[in-house]
Chain A
Amino acid sequence: DQQVKQNSPSLSVQEGRISILNCDYTNSMFDYFLWYKKYPAEGPTFLISISSIKDKNEDGRFTVFLNKSAKHLSLHIVPSQPGDSAVYFCAASYGQNFVFGPGTRLSVLP
């Protein structure tokens, strides 16, 4: 049973437009959520996170929204740039437990 789902395996967006990556979770114990970006043959790098007590966190071009009642979070990237092309992993955690989603491959087209 997948506790963290990213239902879109891939997403293509035109440069300059908004990219929206979605993530759903099932375990209500999760209280902290993170997004990681991963290039091929590299480890994931931390992008942005949000605590369950908030519903929005913004950092530059990246904004994460959390809807606790729907157990849904999303990552917005605006404007999208070609360098944003990567695989994005959503992760949910409580304590030492981290569960990753399967990832969404974002392609930003010039």
Chain B
Amino acid sequence: GAVVSQHPSWVICKSGTSVKIECRSLDFQATTMFWYRQFPKQSLMLMATSNEGSKATYEQGVEKDKFLINHASLTLSTLTVTSAHPEDSSFYICSAQQGGGEKLFFGSGTQLSVL
């Protein structure tokens, strides 16, 4: 199946710093990528949808200035958590949809811990 690489898998940062998470589709072109957040024992919460070359669409309640999403190419989307705070600590997962395809392929996730 299609492979989505997410990096880093684990990051610890100090409060107030910014963290960038990368999501790459390795063997297909992802016209659409999604970013999720998962809290313990809860479902995946969609944060935003990004289409290559255009601005991301954020879900209600998600601060677009805090969670910057860039989808500059058909194989790469990045999520930058700016001025991170301890409450931003969570498991972030990306997924990618191949153009014309119906399935979503997920990255392995990034565990962010903000001290």
Report A's interface with B, CB cutoff 8 A.
32, 34, 36, 41-46, 49, 89, 91, 93, 96, 98, 100-103
- Cβ of B93 within 8 Å of any chain A Cβ, yes or no, is yes
A7 CB to closest chain B CB, in angstroms? 13
Task: Tell me which of B4, B44, B93, B109 has the highest count of chain A C-beta atoms within 10 A of its own C-beta.
Answer: B44
Most chain B Cβ neighbours within 10 Å, of A41, A44, A91, A103? A44
Q: List 10 A-B residue pairs with CB atoms under 8 Å apart, sorted by A's residue number.
A: A34-B104, A41-B91, A42-B108, A43-B6, A44-B106, A46-B105, A49-B103, A89-B43, A89-B44, A100-B43
Q: By the criterion CB–CB under 8 Å, are A32 and B102 in contact?
A: yes
**A45 to B42 Cα, complex, angstroms:** 17
State in angstroms the CA–CA spacing of A64 and B86 once bound together. 40
Contact A98 B109 (CB under 8 A): no
User: When each residue 6-25 of chain B gets 1 if its CB lies under 8 Å from chain A and 0 otherwise, what string results?
Assistant: 10000000000000000000
Give A44 to B4 CA distance when docked, in angstroms: 11
Q: Looking at B93, B94, B103, B111, which has the most chain A CB atoms within 10 Å of its CB? A: B103
Q: In whole Å, how far is A75's beta carbon from the nearest beta carbon of chain B? A: 16
Residues of B within 8 A of A32 (CB): 102
Are B109 and A49 in contact, with the CB atoms below 8 A? no
Chain B binding surface, main DSSP class? strand
Known interface pairs A41-B111, A42-B109, A96-B32. Does A101 touch B43 (Cβ–Cβ under 8 Å)? yes
Inter-subunit contact A46/B103 (CB<8 Å): yes
Q: Determine the distance from Cα of A89 to Cα of B106 in the docked complex, in whole angstroms.
A: 13
Determine how close the nearest CB of chain B comes to the CB of A95; give it in whole angstroms: 10
Which parts of B81-115 form the interface with A (CB within 8 Å)? 91, 93-95, 97, 102-109, 111
A36 and B105 alpha carbons, distance in the complex (Å): 10
* A93 contact set on B, CB distance < 8 A: 102
Q: A34-B103, A100-B46 are in contact. List 14 more A-B contacts (CB 8 A).
A: A34-B104, A41-B91, A43-B6, A43-B106, A44-B93, A46-B1, A46-B103, A46-B104, A91-B104, A93-B102, A96-B97, A98-B104, A100-B44, A103-B43
